[in-house]
Copies of this chain bind each other. A is one copy, B any other.
């Protein structure tokens, strides 16, 4: 299992050993890490080094340190990566346009892959999300359904990396535009257009047509982007 550590940047080696355990399948999502005390004994390093390593993993979004309960490998990586990405984006001076560009690339390709890989069960879920959309007048709920629709397609791409990056990018987009939808639907008739665009995407999935799915997603995002740009910031 663990083995004693002797060296300079101690916390790095603590992380390295935790990584190795993950790599070997000894630690999985949702698993509890050994206690700080136990890590101190097994790795023969100071409590401070252990805490530095755990904090770093917590900031990264990989573990969850619960007061009085111990540390757990996260079961899902919802906001994972967000912290480092957002700081980096600030330092790089990346702007809304770059984030939007990346999102468009990823979503269009995710739609293409999803159309080929979507299961019958997932098609039913996606159809439900499409239908709910017209049957609801509450914009807060619609906004949630909208997000779920897009996440579902990213999920159906069958590529965890694409899914994770899209989640991160979407979170960032949300930080810039609190609610893109609201900017769009103030214009009469746009709610219906959004529905029909979602429906086109869904129908392309049903036909398992990659080119149609990519085209429909591209048109949908270009439409949304047009309204986003109306804002002054």
Hey, which bits of chain A sit against chain B, CB under 8 A? 11-12, 15, 19, 22-23, 28-29, 48, 51-53, 55-62, 73, 77, 80-81, 83-94, 98-99, 101-102, 105-106, 109, 113, 159-162, 164-165, 169
Contact = CB atoms under 8 A, between A and B. Distances in A.
A113 B80 CA distance: 28
B59 A15 contact: yes
Contact of A58 (B51, B56, B92, B101): B56
A81 to B, nearest CB: 6
Contacts of A22: 87, 90-91
Contact of A160 (B58, B80, B84, B98): B98
A93 to B, nearest CB: 8
B77 A92 contact: yes
A80 B88 contact: yes
Nearest to A67: B8
A112 to B, nearest CB: 9
B56 A59 contact: yes
Main secondary structure of the interface of A (DSSP, over half): helix
A27 to B, nearest CB: 8
Contact of A87 (B28, B60, B101): B60
Closest 5 A/B residue pairs (Cβ): A56-B59, A52-B55, A60-B84, A56-B56, A92-B160
B62 A60 contact: no
Contacts of A55: 11, 52-53, 55-56
Contact of A29 (B51, B60, B91, B99): B91
B51 A89 contact: no
Contacts of A23: 90
Nearest to A24: B90
A105 to B, nearest CB: 5
A73 B98 CA distance: 22
A215 B99 CA distance: 24
Contacts of A62: 84, 87-88, 91
A138 B55 CA distance: 45
Given A11-B59, A88-B164, 11 more contacts: A19-B86, A28-B91, A55-B56, A57-B59, A57-B87, A60-B60, A60-B83, A77-B92, A98-B160, A98-B162, A105-B162
